[in-house]
Amino acid sequence: MSRIKRLLLLDWDAIATLVAAVAAVVLHLLHLVEINVLLTISTVLVAGLFIRHLRRERAIEQALSSIHRILDKAEATSAVLASLKGDLLDLRTSRGRPTVHVYLSRSEVYEAIATLLDRIQDAPGEKQLALAALLGHSGERTNDEQQVLCEFEAFNAAMRRCIETPGSSWRVRHVYNITTAERLDAIRERLAATGDADGFEVRALSQREATPQLATLVAGPEDLFVAIEDPRFYRVQKAIHIRSRDGVEVAMQYFEALWQHKQMFFLRSADRIRSDEIDRLRKHINDGGAASNKRVNPPAGAPSPR
């Protein structure tokens, strides 16, 4: 520390008071000042010391007040950090623990899916939607949904946004079981409405009188719907919504096994409708399913049937 800083740290009030007292005593001893003057000087010195004490006491009070404020802020900060730590632990725990919601009506199922798709639509990065709708093969179904169309409007609109959004980061894949020409025509109309959408693929099986199967829909990295079919429409009526990354991984293994099945018809590749495959499926249906299901020229990029 420099000499100037050491001098500034000295208690100059005390030094000045001491010098004044010594000077007053010396002057009195030399008979240069009267006793009354000495008393006056002494009174002034005492008053100066008292004022100095009051000033220091006020500074100490201000310092203590600042310390208390700092401690209060530190306690508040500690409480916030503890809360954040708890939230992070809860978040980490919730990410590892599946959550389950059950929807017991058709409208609830489709509303929940539409809401989920709209939420994922705004998320950054690549997204996936994998739908295995092997419905309508265990009884008579109708494609006429006019009476209940309102129940599917939000879902249909959300699905179209995923498929048709320009520059979409979605990869959308559908798997159907188509056993009637009427159902094939309805699917073809849907495909025609998708235009030149990229990243939308559709494949189909054609298995008559198959046993009822659960429909699965995977949306994003952690949302899975498992549903039972509606007895009237090519839709589902009740579903279980599972939020679990591990659950999605298991469901995607099932979906990939379907997707690569050797009896699949490739109705739409990632960039265009496969009219040749649709015609081949129509012939398969008209022949009662007895025609050969071997593909002569598999679509580009598709695995050859084993």
Cβ neighbours for 151, distance < 8 A, ≥ 6 positions apart = 106, 107, 110
What confidence category does residue 130 fall into, taking pLDDT thresholds of 50, 70 and 90? very high
Render pLDDT for 181-232 as a digit per residue (tens, 0 to 9): 988 998 999 899 887 788 899 999 998 877 778 899 999 999 999 999 887 7
Counting beta carbons within 10 angstroms of the beta carbon of residue 218, is it exposed (0 to 12), middle (13 to 18) or buried (19 or more)?
A: buried
**Residue range(s) defining the domain that contains residue 200:** 99-286
pLDDT at residue 263, as a whole number: 92
What confidence category does residue 38 fall into, taking pLDDT thresholds of 50, 70 and 90? low
Is residue 163 domain-shared with residue 251, that is, in the same domain?
yes
pLDDT at residue 34, as a whole number: 67
pLDDT at residue 209, as a whole number: 77
Is residue 112's pLDDT more than 90? yes
Tokens of 181: 């020409």
Average model confidence (pLDDT) across the chain: 79
Cα–Cα distance, 306 to 304 (Å, whole number): 6
Residue 75 lies in a domain: no
Lowest mean per-residue pLDDT among 59-68, 100-109, 132-141: 132-141
Residue 305 lies in a domain: no
172 beta partners: 129, 200
pLDDT at residue 137, as a whole number: 62
Render pLDDT for 148-161 as a digit per residue (tens, 0 to 9): 667 788 888 998 88
Is residue 51 domain-shared with residue 107, that is, in the same domain?
no
Strand order in the sheet with 215-219: 99-103, 236-243, 223-229, 215-219, 127-133, 170-177, 200-205, 265-268
Is residue 54 domain-shared with residue 175, that is, in the same domain?
no
Cα–Cα distance, 95 to 246 (Å, whole number): 10
pLDDT at residue 4, as a whole number: 64
Cα–Cα distance, 219 to 221 (Å, whole number): 7
Is residue 114 domain-shared with residue 240, that is, in the same domain?
yes
Residues of the chain above pLDDT 90, percent: 30
Cβ neighbours for 211, distance < 8 A, ≥ 6 positions apart = 138
Instruction: Tell me the average pLDDT across 94-118.
Output: 86
Is residue 149 domain-shared with residue 230, that is, in the same domain?
yes
Is residue 58 domain-shared with residue 189, that is, in the same domain?
no
Is residue 131 domain-shared with residue 19, that is, in the same domain?
no
Find out whether 245 and 222 touch, Cβ atoms under 8 Å. yes
Residue 304 lies in a domain: no
Is residue 138 domain-shared with residue 241, that is, in the same domain?
yes
Is residue 268 domain-shared with residue 169, that is, in the same domain?
yes
Lowest mean per-residue pLDDT among 42-46, 151-155, 184-188, 266-270: 42-46
What confidence category does residue 180 fall into, taking pLDDT thresholds of 50, 70 and 90? confident
Instruction: Tell me the average pLDDT across 260-273.
Output: 92
Is residue 212 domain-shared with residue 252, that is, in the same domain?
yes
Is residue 305's pLDDT more than 50? no
Is residue 25 domain-shared with residue 128, that is, in the same domain?
no
What confidence category does residue 296 fall into, taking pLDDT thresholds of 50, 70 and 90? very low
Is residue 191 domain-shared with residue 45, that is, in the same domain?
no
Tokens of 199: 């990243």
Is residue 291's pLDDT more than 60? no
229 beta partners: 236
Tally of domains in the chain: 2
